[in-house]
Structure 1
Amino acid sequence: MFGDELFSRWLADLREQAPGIELFDAHTHIGQNDPDGFRCSAEELTATLTAAGARGVVFPMHEPDGYPAANDQVIADSRRSEGRLTAFCRLDPSAEPLAEAQRCLDAGAAGIKLHPRAEGFALDTPSMEPVFAMADERGLGVLVHAGRGIPALGEHAVKVCERHPGLRLILAHAGICDLAWIWKAAEELPNLFFDTAWWSASDLLALYTLVPPGNILFASDAPYSACSFAASLNLRYALQAGLSNDQLRIVFGGQLDRILAAEELIDAGPAPGPGGLDRDPLLDRVYTFLVAAIGQMFHGVEPAESLALTRLACEVGEDSPQAETCAAVVALVDLREEVLRTGQDTGRPERFVPGLALVVAAAALARTPGVPMPKLPRASSLRRGAPDDRGRAP
């Protein structure tokens, strides 16, 4: 996937600040028929996980014709992966979900994925209650898409966790649909989790500072982002928030291992609070222009003006405390221009402007000045196999 080479080097450096982490990605996909245009094979997913030195939970992408065959494929791919992949089955509440869950669990699935928006249901749908009861009895993980456009998801999620304390409910995408208030519920619900499969630095920093670390699970959302990319940025956010090395090991794999084994969960202590966040006014300007650029890129608009303003905001002077961060941001903007010229960012649907990951990464750097800046390669080293400025090749 685009960025594996660059961000695997970032990740290698960050691992030195977080020794002992064993990456386990809670949110990845395989599929060829999703209407959103993304595609991912087991081989492609395995490659991005391998580049990050990670294992991953995997489930089907959206399948308009139903999930039994897709679930079988994911289970078979996981069985062949030599431990790299762990299968979750995806359920449609309108298609005998309890029977499909039991069939897949008997075949080797280790948990359940639900997508209320794609399948058009709410968590209080009557056909789901027997599934939740079964998951409670078995101590299963149930991962739920928690993006926008799902009314009452957070309220229903809290009630499910209260009724079924043995079930481990994972709200995907940092629970952004309800993060404004549901972070408070996590303090009282040890079986309510949030994965980090999301792009916004502000949302993820809120997650790491407000939610107890034992309730956070690292996730990439592959193929929507490369695993090394997500791991690098999330380690920066977690370090900026002030998580200890023991807490990092729990967030980035340790707790997920416990969930999948139906073992006693780890109490990693309280949330650190927002005291570790840095909102330098000059870096805040840089971040604001980068977020404007990201919004344009998501909608297919070339963000020339927003990135030009980013460059101007970075002209803080070589002797300023913000100089190193700003230099790294400008280097990524330069790298993105080279990607645009050479057409290296392939694999995304054409509705996205190329180089989006690099601008998201620049925004992450602007919000994490307390973490050492990465060494940035020449643009040509994004090509597979090319060495970076330290002479290393993937």
Structure 2
Amino acid sequence: MSSPRTATEEEAGEVRRFWHGLGLPGLIDVHTHFMPERVLHKVWDYFDTNGPLIGGLEWPITYRAEEEERTSVLRRFGVRAFTSMLYPHKPGMARWLNGWAVDFARRTPDCLHTATLYPEPDVESYVREAVEAGARVFKAHVQVGAYDPADERLQRAWGLLAEARIPVVMHCGSGPAPGKHTGPEPIARVLARHPGLRLVVAHMGMPEYEEFLDLAERYEQVRLDTTMVFTDFSEGFMPFPRRALPRLAALGDRILLGSDFPNIPYPYLHQLQALERLGLGRDWLRAVCHDNAARLFAL
């Protein structure tokens, strides 16, 4: 188990210098985790045991702290807007999580109100309720939920979200360990039925990077987030193919900064430095770290 840690002023200053040097007003991080404390602590317990869903990897939680401190850290970093990525692993859980998320969004104005879903009989009903309550982004976790995103029970919910133009950040790639329904094929079936769905592929679809780039090139509403990609940690076991960098550059208006904060095994700054060392230029970095998400969420 990793020890509790918070960001030092030196670390916060280095993050602020990064975005200030790009001429940005701050960062927008579309992939941060806030959820009920007892649920998050169970997530941390799972990471501490090096469970199979994380590929048996050693995965210390860098920012293991209480909720108030975690929001303070992001604000000190200069993150203008962030999300509360939360997800169910069984039926009957999503509606309860969405109720918690409403309250969290009310007391955390810089959090983009996040909701979630699961294939179950009342999914359309509570997705509609979440939209009416002001949800601005949804989280779906195909690996942890162990469900097919093309499940018929989800079709009306996907259609509702496509019509409402609400982005869905989805962990659908097979990293760090494959699930029963991970990979590009189930997502291709979803997009064939809902081509207007604003899908944000978490972790750029790690490790099926090129297959998910294919989908982004085919569907103009598909985006990818940078969560953990290009870092020394991920490059050590699921490296991004350098031959695909020109494609990444060409999709520069549809790549979004994501970090997985607080559940990352390295300092927050490292994700930013990993993006910078790709050498894709200041304009690409500005778009990825702020402008693309600002446009997507009208910030």
TM-score by length of 1: 0.59
5 Å-filtered alignment, 1:177-188, equals 177-188=207-218
Residues 209 and 240 in structure 2, CA contact (< 8 A), matched pair in contact too:
no
Aligned length: 259
TM-aligned CA deviation for residue 3 of structure 1: 5.6
Instruction: Provide the secondary structure at the position in 2 that maps to 1:45.
Output: helix
Matched, 1:52 2:89: no
Residues 28 and 289 in structure 2, CA contact (< 8 A), matched pair in contact too:
yes
In structure 2, C-alpha distance between the alignment counterparts of 1:242 and 1:63, rounded to whole Å: 38
Counterpart amino acid of 1:213? G
Instruction: Provide the secondary structure at the position in 1 that maps to 2:84.
Output: strand
Matched, 1:74 2:77: no
- Number of the residue aligned with 1:33: 39
Q: 1:109 to 1:117 in 2, by over 3 A?
A: same
Matched, 1:236 2:239: no
Counterpart amino acid of 1:81? T
**Structure 1 segments (4+ residues) deviating >6 Å:** none
In structure 2, C-alpha distance between the alignment counterparts of 1:205 and 1:216, rounded to whole Å: 16
In structure 2, C-alpha distance between the alignment counterparts of 1:62 and 1:127, rounded to whole Å: 16
TM-score by length of 2: 0.75
In structure 2, C-alpha distance between the alignment counterparts of 1:252 and 1:95, rounded to whole Å: 38
In structure 2, C-alpha distance between the alignment counterparts of 1:224 and 1:61, rounded to whole Å: 14
Instruction: Provide the secondary structure at the position in 2 that maps to 1:19.
Output: coil
Q: 1:172 to 1:87 in 2, by over 3 A?
A: same
Superposed CA deviations along residues 127-165 of structure 1, whole A, max 9, x for unmatched, are 111111111111110111133313453122234334323
Instruction: Provide the secondary structure at the position in 2 that maps to 1:28.
Output: coil
Instruction: Provide the secondary structure at the position in 2 that maps to 1:113.
Output: strand
2:131 to 74, 81, 105: 105
Q: 1:40 to 1:258 in 2, by over 3 A?
A: farther
> Which deviates more from structure 2 when the two are superposed, residues 196-205 or residues 109-118?
196-205
Instruction: Provide the secondary structure at the position in 1 that maps to 2:69.
Output: helix
Residues 259 and 271 in structure 2, CA contact (< 8 A), matched pair in contact too:
no
Percent identical across equivalent pairs?
21
In structure 2, C-alpha distance between the alignment counterparts of 1:208 and 1:236, rounded to whole Å: 16
TM-aligned CA deviation for residue 58 of structure 1: 1.3
In structure 2, C-alpha distance between the alignment counterparts of 1:66 and 1:40, rounded to whole Å: 24
In structure 2, C-alpha distance between the alignment counterparts of 1:93 and 1:218, rounded to whole Å: 28
Counterpart amino acid of 2:154? M
RMSD in angstroms over aligned alpha carbons? 2.8
Superposed CA deviations along residues 21-75 of structure 1, whole A, max 9, x for unmatched, are 5311101122322543357754233122112111201132556661222211222
- Number of the residue aligned with 1:380: none
Instruction: Provide the secondary structure at the position in 2 that maps to 1:30.
Output: coil
In structure 2, C-alpha distance between the alignment counterparts of 1:209 and 1:234, rounded to whole Å: 20
Residues 6 and 73 in structure 2, CA contact (< 8 A), matched pair in contact too:
no
Instruction: Name which one, 1 or 2, has greater alpha-carbon Rg.
Output: 1
1:4 to 3, 7, 28: 7
Greater relative CO (CA pairs within 8 A, separation 6+): 2
- Number of the residue aligned with 2:178: 149
Residues 97 and 127 in structure 1, CA contact (< 8 A), matched pair in contact too:
yes
Q: 1:252 to 1:53 in 2, by over 3 A?
A: same
Q: 1:225 to 1:47 in 2, by over 3 A?
A: farther
In structure 2, C-alpha distance between the alignment counterparts of 1:58 and 1:8, rounded to whole Å: 21
Q: Which runs of 5+ in 2 are unaligned?
A: 46-63
Counterpart amino acid of 1:252? C
TM-aligned CA deviation for residue 95 of structure 1: 5.0
In structure 1, C-alpha distance between the alignment counterparts of 2:121 and 2:67, rounded to whole Å: 25
Q: Which runs of 5+ in 1 are unaligned?
A: 264-394
In structure 2, C-alpha distance between the alignment counterparts of 1:60 and 1:75, rounded to whole Å: 12
Matched, 1:94 2:102: no
Superposed CA deviations along residues 306-327 of structure 1, whole A, max 9, x for unmatched, are xxxxxxxxxxxxxxxxxxxxxx
